[in-house]
């Protein structure tokens, strides 16, 4: 199962993403500025825009 983490560039979202990475959990990091998102193993970074359908499956 892949976990979506919103706010991956912030303090709390970044902490959650790093903790999930340490546990080997696949993630999709959602951020308004994806270039600032942490680069973590098993994580893909996706731009977050507030409209329906922004996460493709």
pLDDT of 4 over the 70 cut: yes
The pTM of this model reads 0.74
Q: Residue 24 in 3-state DSSP? A: coil
The helix or strand, by DSSP H or E, that contains position 57, with its residue range, turns out to be none
Q: Is residue 52 part of a domain?
A: no
Give the structural domain span for 37: 3-47
For residue 15, being part of any structural domain is answered with yes
**Which range scores top for mean pLDDT: 5-14, 20-29, 48-57?**
20-29
Domain assignment present for residue 28? The answer is yes
Residue 48 pLDDT greater than 60, yes or no: yes
Chain segment 19-33, per-residue pLDDT in tens: 999 999 999 998 888
User: Is 17 a residue whose pLDDT tops 70?
Assistant: yes
Task: Indicate whether 7 belongs to any domain.
Answer: yes
47 vs 14: which has the higher pLDDT = 14
Burial profile 6-28: b = 16 or more Cβ within 10 angstroms, e = fewer: ebbbeeebbebbeebbeeeeebb
Number of domains in the chain: 1
């Amino acid at each position: 199962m892949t976990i979506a983490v919103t706010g991956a560039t912030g303090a709390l979202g970044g902490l959650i993403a790093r903790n999930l990475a340490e546990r080997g959990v696949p993630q999709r990091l959602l951020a308004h500025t994806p270039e600032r998102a942490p680069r973590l193993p098993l994580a893909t970074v996706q731009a977050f825009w507030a409209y329906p359908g922004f996460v493709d499956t």
